């Protein structure tokens, strides 16, 4: 069974982000799957979305909450494809379910556009088979306070603890919207409604499937035509 999952913790992202992700996945895949949101608060979510209760342990917060997906108690089995909520899917994601079967897939971090040999990872899109990466969670919970102090976020820990099992997606499949699609040197501006926009439109290449909106702006506060056309 194929699963598409996201995590919504706290109030950084309103339910609309989950509902839009659900719709984008539905438009851009022909692969049978089930969609799940892992959250402590399912209010406002589309009733067709399956919800999984996020535990209330002290280390379940901010981006660290994503690590619970690697817990031995995680209820899903099969093939799990994860997306952060600040992405835009605009092309078929069918290959993401089948590329390098059985491998733990993750993005090569977007600093790659400045440093060609950059090997760090970005956890905005991952795929794995539950049960194969449990040590990412069990080792984290044993020493979570120290790990949180020593690492910028979940993806730094994943890179350290899982480095021998990591395989990166093809760079062109999942790209940074502001650094790679628009351009690292472009400047974002605000319109009269307070939304961000970029001075030039993004470059869309055929291989690109997912745009990642790390940092600012998020899709909801970006007025670019690309966002209007696809984030819905």
Dump pLDDT digits (tens) for 29-60: 999 999 999 999 999 999 999 999 999 888 88
* The length of the chain, given as a count of residues: 232
Read out DSSP for 74-94? Answer: ----SEEEEE-SSEEE-S--H
Q: How many C-beta atoms surround the C-beta of residue 73 within 10 A?
A: 8
pLDDT of residue 185: 65
User: Can you identify the CATH homologous superfamily of domain 2-172?
Assistant: Spore Coat Polysaccharide Biosynthesis Protein SpsA; Chain A (3.90.550.10)
For the chain, what is the mean pLDDT? 94
What's the pTM? Answer: 0.95
**What pLDDT digit, counting tens, does each position of 175-207 carry?**
999 999 998 766 778 887 888 889 889 999 999
pLDDT of residue 2: 98
DSSP letter assigned to residue 222: B
**What pLDDT digit, counting tens, does each position of 109-160 carry?**
987 877 777 888 999 999 999 999 999 999 999 999 999 999 989 999 999 9
Higher confidence at residue 174 or residue 183? Answer: 174
pLDDT of residue 92: 98
Q: How many C-beta atoms surround the C-beta of residue 186 within 10 A?
A: 14
**What pLDDT digit, counting tens, does each position of 214-232 carry?**
988 999 999 999 999 999 9
58 preceded by a cis bond (ω within 30 of 0): no
Give the C-alpha separation, 104 to 102, whole Å: 7
């Amino acid at each position: 069974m194929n699963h598409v999952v996201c995590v919504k913790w706290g109030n950084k992202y309103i339910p609309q982000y989950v509902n839009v992700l659900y719709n984008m996945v539905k438009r851009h895949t022909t692969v049978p799957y089930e969609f799940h949101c892992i959250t402590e608060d399912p209010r406002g979510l589309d009733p067709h979305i399956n919800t999984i209760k996020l535990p209330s342990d002290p280390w379940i917060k901010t981006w660290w909450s994503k690590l619970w997906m690697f817990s031995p108690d995680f209820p899903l089995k099969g093939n799990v494809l994860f997306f952060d909520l600040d992405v835009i899917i605009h092309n078929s994601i069918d290959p993401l379910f089948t590329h390098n079967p059985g491998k733990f897939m993750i993005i090569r971090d977007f600093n790659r556009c400045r440093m060609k040999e950059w090997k760090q990872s970005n956890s905005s899109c991952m795929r794995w088979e539950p049960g194969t990466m449990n040590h990412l969670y069990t080792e984290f919970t044993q020493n979570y306070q120290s790990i949180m102090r020593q690492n910028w976020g979940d993806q730094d820990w994943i890179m350290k603890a899982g480095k021998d099992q990591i395989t990166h997606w093809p760079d062109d499949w999942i790209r940074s919207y502001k650094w790679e699609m628009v351009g690292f040197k472009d400047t974002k501006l605000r319109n009269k409604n307070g939304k961000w926009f970029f001075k030039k439109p993004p470059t869309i290449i055929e291989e690109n499937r997912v745009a990642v909106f790390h940092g600012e702006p998020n899709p909801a506060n970006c007025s670019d035509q690309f966002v209007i056309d696809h984030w819905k």
